[in-house]
Each structure stands twice: as C-alpha cells, then as structure tokens.
C-alpha cells in the first residue's frame, strides 16, 4: 500500500472565494486543518452561451489564478500554491515567466506550476491561438520560460517564441520550479514523462486514475526521462466523496496527492463543512494533530 496521499483544495479562486474576505478565511482555515496545498484553475474567457465541453456557465466568476494565489500567499505560511491548470498556449511566456517567478519569490518558494494545452476552442481563439498547434506551442513556451529562470544569459529560438540579449530577475526561489502537467492522451503522457515533475488528473475515480497511471507508465517505457526530474508525482481531483477507505484505494494505485473540489454553488457555511469533512484529520487512518 502506498503512503497516504497529501490533500489539496481546489477552486480557491471561484464561487464564495472571489470575495477577498472569504478567500483569506479559506486560506487560513485550510492551513489550520492541515491541508498541503491550494489550487486555482483557469479560464480567461468561456463560451457564451455555455456548450460542451465548457465546464461552467460564462457568468460564473473565476479569478485569475496567479492573482488569487498571490493573495492567498499573503494569508498563509506553509501551504503549497498550485495552478490547476494554466492554459499555457494562451499566455505570453516571457510575461508569464516573470509572473510565476514573482509568485514563487513572494510565497517563499511555495509555487507548483500546473500547466496544460487547453481544450476549449473559443477560449484559445479569443487569445489568438489556433487549436492545431497548441501542443507544440506549449512545449516551446515552457522551454522558453525555463531558459529565463535558469540560464545565466537567457536565450531561446523557436517557431513561436525567440529572444536573446535579455535577462529577468528575480529568479524563482525553487530550483527547479516544479512543473505539473495536466491532460490525458498520448501527447500529455509524453509531456509529463519528458518535461514534468508531476501529472494532474481531473475528476477521476480510482479506476480511471489507475488507467491513466498505467498509460503514464507505458509512456515512461517509451520516452526518456531526465533523472533530475525525479519520480513523477501523481495528483488527482477525485470524482466521488472521500472517506478513509477510498483514500486508501487511491494510495494503492500510486496517487500522491488528492485535490478535493467543493460542489458548485456552496455558500460559506457549506464550504466550511466540506473543507472540514475532507481535512487530513478526518480522512487519515492515523489522524494528525491539528496545526
């Protein structure tokens, strides 16, 4: 049996927590209850009217994840701060590299950079990004950002981004800044193996998570992984209510982190009930002392 997964909390930039007082309250409560991380998703724009596969109505507020996590960094001291996920192809990589480094510095090295290539064509089109080249664009953007974070004299030459004779400080506190790859399918598995410290699967029960973990293992046999990346950390947002037995099932298949997502449209009282019910002390077979 694997170790008990760490517990994260998703959607900290949505619903009640778009209000600053509620966001500050939630961050402090999650830290007090022993959560390991807070995660913020991203949709810059949404199809209007809503249509599949869009996950939420266009009028539902969602804060920019980096702005939200920077605010939460100021309310907390220990929680990791994850983007789950940033749609990388629709971002300017030079600007985003500065923003991510700034957040890592201001949080004291607590950032987890979750990224993906996106799946909503209207969102990507609004940002001027064709669907067909979003994968390669994302790979170049990541390489360019890592050049800015790590090279003494940063330079990069690619199809979608090129620069030289520039520099950017401060650098991230973390060396390297952890990259968590979102998405599923052959290309996403390959990117996770070749480029990322972790992989994030969204809304999966243990059977679905096991399937994708198996596909990641297949990719690891086909593609080269740098030893510097270390073991691939598996994060999953569960698609079912949790109890200690279900947490153990996720642990058995190799999940390292469970990022729980509150049901939609909870008020503050309902959100508090959910956060307490899914806290480490409630879900662990060996309850931890409350921080």
Q: What tokens were used for 265?
A: 């449209």
Within a domain: 132: yes
Whether the CB-CB separation of 84 and 40 falls below 8 Å is answered with: yes
Within a domain: 288: no
Q: Is 202 helix (H, G, I), strand (E, B) or coil?
A: strand
Residue 286 reports pLDDT greater than 80: no
Give the C-alpha separation, 149 to 138, whole Å.
16
Q: What are φ and ψ of residue 18, in 5° steps?
A: -75, -15
Within a domain: 1: no
pLDDT value of position 1: 52
Within a domain: 172: yes
pLDDT value of position 289: 36
Q: What are φ and ψ of residue 182, in 5° steps?
A: -95, 165
pLDDT value of position 171: 98
Prediction pTM value? 0.95
pLDDT value of position 284: 77
Within a domain: 226: yes
The angle, 0 to 180 degrees and rounded to 10, between the axes of the packed helices 65-75 and 20-32 is: 60
The share of the chain scoring above pLDDT 70, in percent, equals: 97
Based on the structure, what is the number of domains in the chain?
Answer: 1
pLDDT, tens digit (0-9, with 9 covering 90-100), for 168-208? 999 999 999 999 999 999 999 999 999 999 999 999 999 99
Count of alpha carbons within 13 angstroms of residue 236, beta-carbon side: 27
Residue 290 reports pLDDT greater than 60: no
Within a domain: 289: no
Residue 150 reports pLDDT greater than 90: yes
Within a domain: 291: no
pLDDT, tens digit (0-9, with 9 covering 90-100), for 108-129? 999 999 999 999 999 999 999 9
Residue 287 reports pLDDT greater than 80: no
Region 136-162: mean pLDDT is 98
The share of the chain scoring above pLDDT 90, in percent, equals: 94
Residue with tokens 């994260």: 8
Paired with 204 in beta bridges are 238
Give the C-alpha separation, 97 to 147, whole Å.
10
Query: Residue 232 gets which letter from DSSP?
Result: -
pLDDT, tens digit (0-9, with 9 covering 90-100), for 67-108? 999 999 999 999 999 999 999 999 999 999 999 999 999 999
**Cα separations (Å) of 9 from 67, 126, 278?**
17, 29, 9
Range of the domain at 34: 6-283
Report the CATH number at residue 185.
3.20.20.30
User: Counting beta carbons within 10 angstroms of the beta carbon of residue 9, is it exposed (0 to 12), middle (13 to 18) or buried (19 or more)?
Assistant: buried
Within a domain: 148: yes
pLDDT, tens digit (0-9, with 9 covering 90-100), for 31-40? 999 999 999 9
Region 239-244: mean pLDDT is 95
Give the C-alpha separation, 216 to 198, whole Å.
11
* Integer Rg of the chain from CA: 19
pLDDT, tens digit (0-9, with 9 covering 90-100), for 17-62? 999 999 999 999 999 999 999 999 999 999 999 999 999 999 999 9
The distance of Cα 139 from the centroid of its chain, to the nearest Å, equals 17
């Amino acid at each position: 049996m694997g170790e008990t997964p760490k517990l994260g909390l998703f959607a900290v930039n949505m619903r009640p927590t778009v209000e600053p007082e509620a966001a500050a309250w939630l961050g402090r409560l999650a830290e007090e209850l022993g959560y390991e991380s807070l995660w913020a998703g991203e949709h810059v724009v949404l199809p209007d009217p809503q249509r599949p596969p869009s996950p939420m109505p266009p009028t539902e507020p969602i804060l920019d994840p980096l702005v939200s996590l920077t605010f939460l960094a100021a309310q907390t001291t220990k929680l990791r701060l994850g983007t789950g996920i940033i749609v990388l192809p629709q971002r300017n990589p030079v600007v985003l590299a500065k923003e991510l480094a700034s957040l890592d510095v201001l949080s004291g090295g607590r950032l987890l950079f979750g990224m993906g290539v996106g799946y909503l064509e209207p969102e990507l089109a609004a940002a001027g990004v064709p669907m067909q080249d979003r994968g390669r664009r994302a790979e170049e953007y990541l390489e360019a950002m890592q050049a800015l974070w790590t090279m003494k004299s940063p330079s990069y030459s690619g199809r979608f981004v090129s620069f030289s004779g520039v520099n950017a400080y401060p650098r991230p506190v973390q060396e390297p800044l952890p990259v968590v790859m979102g998405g599923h399918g052959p290309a996403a598995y390959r990117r996770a193996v070749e480029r990322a410290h972790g992989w994030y699967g969204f809304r999966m029960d243990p059977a679905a998570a096991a399937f994708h973990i198996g596909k990641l293992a297949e990719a690891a046999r086909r593609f080269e992984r740098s030893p510097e990346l270390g073991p691939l950390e598996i994060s999953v947002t569960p698609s079912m209510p949790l109890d200690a037995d279900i947490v153990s099932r996720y642990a058995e298949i190799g999940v390292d982190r469970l990022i729980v997502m509150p049901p939609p449209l909870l008020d503050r009282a309902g959100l508090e009930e959910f956060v307490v019910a899914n806290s480490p002390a409630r879900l662990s077979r060996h309850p931890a002392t409350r921080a």
